[in-house]
């Protein structure tokens, strides 16, 4: 059991290092100059700010779990190993979707909601079925922490943070996209799902 726990601690650490590294790589690769920005929110909405606040104890809990797991034992769940492995698989699928979505967006990607000069409405790749596959990937990756860590505090903290952050980002982005692309976006939105493909049209 102890060997299994060490493995999952290392996997959780790898998940966060991979997630932060992926974001940092694309933030550095696709730098946006302010003069190339047409539209962006003036400030982060309260939901976004609350998400940032929740992320702090979530990050601290992960650090404690990785370095000194007994410090997070009070929130431990008795999950079977197979379910925790399922969490790892969910995270791997999430990273795959994240990378596929990044490649589909290309130079249209930004680390925050914004419309850039010569911005394109991407409807290929995963965007053929889902309007925000990157945020779906975020929920898959960070939501998997509940299963991998087998710790309700770590899992629910990251699920809550991601849900709040994704919620305000989607509403902000869709408002800007509708303003920029008009009928093209509304017809595209009518046949796609926000986070999951539409089952019925």
CATH number for the domain that contains residue 27: 1.20.120.1630
Helix (H, G, I), strand (E, B) or coil at 192: coil
**2 has a pLDDT exceeding 70:** no
Q: Is 10 within the bounds of a domain?
A: yes
Q: Is residue 199 part of a domain?
A: no
Domain-embedded: residue 81: yes
Q: Token digits for 160?
A: 């809550």
**What are 141-173's pLDDT values in tens digits?**
999 999 999 999 999 999 999 999 999 999 999
Average pLDDT of every residue of the chain? 92
The confidence score (pLDDT) of residue 37 equals 84
1 three-state secondary structure:
coil
Angle subtended at Cα 144 by Cα 22 and Cα 110, rounded to the nearest 5 degrees: 30
Residue 141 lies in a domain: yes
- Give the SS3 label for residue 39: strand
pLDDT for 61 equals 97
The three-class DSSP label of residue 114 is coil
Q: Rounded to an integer, what distance in angstroms lies between the CA atom of residue 47 and that of residue 174?
A: 16
Q: Please give the pLDDT value at position 21.
A: 97
Rounded Cα gap, residues 164 and 91, in angstroms: 19
């Amino acid at each position: 059991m102890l060997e299994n726990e060490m493995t999952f601690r290392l996997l959780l650490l790898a998940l966060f290092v991979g997630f932060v590294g992926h974001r940092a790589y694309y933030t550095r690769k696709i730098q946006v100059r302010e003069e190339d920005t047409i539209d962006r929110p003036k400030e982060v909405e309260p939901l976004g700010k609350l998400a940032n606040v929740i992320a702090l104890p979530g990050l601290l809990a992960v650090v404690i779990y990785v370095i000194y797991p007994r410090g997070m034992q009070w929130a431990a769940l008795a999950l079977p190993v197979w379910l925790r492995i399922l969490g790892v698989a969910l995270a791997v699928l999430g990273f795959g979707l994240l990378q596929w979505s990044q490649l589909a967006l290309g130079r249209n990607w930004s680390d925050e909601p914004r419309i850039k000069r010569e911005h394109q409405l991407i409807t290929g790749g995963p965007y053929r079925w889902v309007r925000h596959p990157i945020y779906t990937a975020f929920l898959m990756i960070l939501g998997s922490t509940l299963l991998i860590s087998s710790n309700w505090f770590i899992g629910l903290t990251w699920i809550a943070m991601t849900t709040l952050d994704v919620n305000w980002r989607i509403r902000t982005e869709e408002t800007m996209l509708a303003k920029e692309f008009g009928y093209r976006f509304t017809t595209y939105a009518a046949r796609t799902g926000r986070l999951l493909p539409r089952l019925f049209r």
